Structure 1
Amino acid sequence: MTSISASLKNQFQLDPSFTYLNHGSFGACPKPIFEERNKWQKEIEKQPVAFIEDKAIGLLDWSREKLGAFINCDKDDLVYFPNPTTAMNMVIKSLDLKIGDEVLSSNHEYGAVEKTWEFVSRKKGFSYKKIDVSIPFNKDDFIESIKNNINTNTKVIFLSHITSPTAIIFPVKEICELAKELGIISIIDGAHAPAHIDLDIKTLGVDIYTGACHKWMLCPKGVSFLYCSKEMQENLEPLVVSWGWESDNPSKSTFLDNNQYQGTNDISAYLTVPSAIKFLDQNNWESIKDECQKKIIESKNILLDTLNTESICSDIFLGQMASLQINIPNSIDLYNYLKNNNIVVPIIDWNGLIFVRISYQCYNSMDDIEHLNHYLKKYLDSI
């Protein structure tokens, strides 16, 4: 079997001796986009002072304009961060939450951001409330559970767009609409969403949204964004106070002034976003995504047959990832076994269950899935 596109596979720099089924964690960057970053790094080093003082702000504006068009929002409502966790730290530490206030979330959220909520909640005294969203996932039950857990103390609803441990696409549009009706702040962790599923910020109607560009958008490592609606921007404080705060030369956006320049930083990766979007357009990425989603469903069915477990959600809630339950006593032992056989795939502990989470990107083929399946069979036969 061949991959979706052999020519696209050749654009990536992945070690061919490994079976790489974990695009979801850190992505992989094609050569043209990787070289774009190198180009910008060289430009910076030619004239560091002139570049940073005279060009950086305009170039970041250009990059944000392209990103804003890609995800349908105003470029001045976007600021770059190295990763969604850093962006969420800024947001969570800024919010004026007090003793008695509640943040409503789920038990499917990303661990690093959960830790941030827990850390800040202990300092400020508010409650971070994780509701139990059971599997197999049911959309109507999920929305009803959110509704039933809202009370007069609920100030924020925080959810993932695509969950990290379970790889489920949550119906966040409906939740954002509900939050707006009730005057509750909506915050969505969209780390896995850009270029993975259709993302339209204006249509979502979300207050705050963070996403990674170094995952499914194929940018180099360290490119993420924070979107904040204009109505919410005055509520956010800079994570690092620097020259932009109470700037001597303010722009039209205090939000950008506070967050865009926080000391000397290599912005070359941020400037690859237009190149990444061009790469997606040139390679008809909508069709690539559709084909990869079909392959993830086919892969899921093959592997579930071997694992003798059931799907945790309907296929309509899957993109290019799927988490598959495996009944084994030790996740670390399986992870190391697969790693020792040059198979890169996360084994996830979640609420007493263990999942194998597969990703299917354009460089994958069903041979990769069959290879994983072979070693899963061997492992299960050995225990």
Structure 2
Amino acid sequence: MANPPTPLPGARDLFTLDRTTLQLNHGSFGAVPRPVQRAQQAVRDEVESNPMRFFSRVAIDRVEAARRTIAEFLGADPDGTALVANATTAAQIVSDSVALAPGDEVLVTDHGYGAVTMGLERACARVGASVVTVPVGFAATDDEIVEALVAAVGPRTRLAYVDQITSPTALLFPVARIVAALRALGVATLVDGAHVPGALAVDVTALGADFWLGNLHKWAYAPRGTAVLTVAERWRPSIQPTIVSWEAHRGFPGAIEWQGTLDYSAWLAAPVGIEVLRDLGWAEVRAHNTALVEYGQRIVAAALDAPTPGSSGVPMRPIPLRPGLVDSQDAALALRARIVEEIRAEVALSFWQGMGILRLSAQVYNTAEEYERLAERLPALTKR
């Protein structure tokens, strides 16, 4: 078994996490480094010193500057990028803006994020369109994933929603190939890159999706509430904000971003998160997190006598649990609560396609000993 990676000097001390708990679920809500916390608080202090000045004379320009820094980091067009609260918000904007007609179809896979799929279902229900779920096997190859989506395209398919890194199963989908294949069939693509910024090198423009969304708070060290929606040029005139504000006349992206007295401090502090990532060494962070989560997956899976599926290069890894251990989402939540209470470990647990999946994450504040502790104590808990 390969050795775990060497910790990055000083990285663990950047975070204010409770060290009495094993923080092994960075992928859900992230963790904000100290410099970013300070930057966000400085913005809040500035706002409170003169709210009139901030909201009437400063905020719009500062948000645009932050957006341009973030877009550059992602390889995206700043004029085709909007800052939003989270990836689900971005997906809802797309769902509400794409014109669907009765009988139209929207493709999703069974690995898609539930809230996004529900938003698409709501948009379809309003007009008499339908969502078509494409099953993708847990061990499907890239060729099989592309082929399954292409085979599902029909004459009324208008949009396809696909994950770049899947949330419940932590798999890496071949989105560049999917986008190209569906474009050739006249199908627009919504790529969910919620876990991508800071986790993978990405060039959003080169990917060529009609819509791409991503969270900055997971792996790019931004405060929670920071995400982006990027939109191809031909779609920008049709994008509508979920809430109309006084900046609606500006169109995309300004009409999407400006929501009056919203707390913009997370967005304005997000570029500091990118600076922290670059100061640590982005390549070094990615290599560390990938190697550490692979180590964690191997030893925990071995302790549970479970397989070790997953894609290399992703800082999250899934472990399928033995049949019968988790038979519903409620059972998954109950097991997660027991793990917190009895092991003092935070992990992601979900019920997906009839099986329980434990998802581990790795970040620069984690150590090999934390996964070893989970591997030592988890088997006894799961055998009760």
Per the TM superposition, whether the score is higher than 0.5 is yes
Tell me if the contact between 1:3 and 1:364 (Cα under 8 Å) persists in the aligned partners. no
Structure 2: distance between partners of 1:176 and 1:54: 41
Quote how far apart the aligned CAs of 1:312 are. 3.0
Residue matched to 2:355: 353
Residue matched to 1:308: 305
After superposition, the Cα gap between the structure-2 partners of 1:308 and 1:370, relative to the gap in structure 1 and judged at 3 Å, is: same
After superposition, the Cα gap between the structure-2 partners of 1:242 and 1:333, relative to the gap in structure 1 and judged at 3 Å, is: closer
Amino acid at match of 2:345: I
Tell me if the contact between 1:240 and 1:262 (Cα under 8 Å) persists in the aligned partners. yes
Quote how far apart the aligned CAs of 1:298 are. 1.9
Residue matched to 2:152: 149
Structure 2: distance between partners of 1:224 and 1:36: 17
SS at match of 2:295: helix
Tell me if the contact between 1:2 and 1:367 (Cα under 8 Å) persists in the aligned partners. no
Tell me if the contact between 1:136 and 1:311 (Cα under 8 Å) persists in the aligned partners. no
Residue matched to 2:225: 222
Deviations for 1:180-231, whole angstroms, at most 9, x for unmatched residues?
A: 2222111011110000011110110111111111110111111111111111
Residue matched to 1:15: 18
Residue matched to 1:343: 345
SS at match of 1:269: helix
Match of 2:278 among 278, 281, 286: 281
Residue matched to 2:132: 129
Moved over 4 A (4+): none
Quote how far apart the aligned CAs of 1:135 are. 1.7
Quote how far apart the aligned CAs of 1:45 are. 1.5
Quote how far apart the aligned CAs of 1:238 are. 1.4
Deviations for 1:104-162, whole angstroms, at most 9, x for unmatched residues?
A: 11000111111111222222211111111012131111111111111211111111111
Residue matched to 2:318: 323
Aligned length: 374
Deviations for 1:229-267, whole angstroms, at most 9, x for unmatched residues?
A: 11111121111011122x3xx4xxx21232121221111
TM-score by length of 1: 0.94
CA-based RMSD: 1.5
Structure 2: distance between partners of 1:258 and 1:288: 35
Residue matched to 2:32: 29
Structure 2: distance between partners of 1:142 and 1:107: 12
Tell me if the contact between 1:107 and 1:130 (Cα under 8 Å) persists in the aligned partners. yes
Tell me if the contact between 2:84 and 2:227 (Cα under 8 Å) persists in the aligned partners. yes
Quote how far apart the aligned CAs of 1:3 are. 6.5
Structure 2: distance between partners of 1:332 and 1:240: 33
Structure 1: distance between partners of 2:279 and 2:337: 38
SS at match of 2:263: coil
Tell me if the contact between 1:66 and 1:273 (Cα under 8 Å) persists in the aligned partners. no
SS at match of 2:133: strand
Amino acid at match of 1:301: R
Amino acid at match of 1:346: A
- Once the two structures are superposed, the pairs formed by residues 141-180 of structure 1 within 5 Å of their partners are 141-180=144-183
Amino acid at match of 2:132: K
Structure 2: distance between partners of 1:322 and 1:174: 23
Structure 1: distance between partners of 2:288 and 2:221: 17
- Once the two structures are superposed, the pairs formed by residues 206-217 of structure 1 within 5 Å of their partners are 206-217=209-220
Tell me if the contact between 2:37 and 2:223 (Cα under 8 Å) persists in the aligned partners. yes
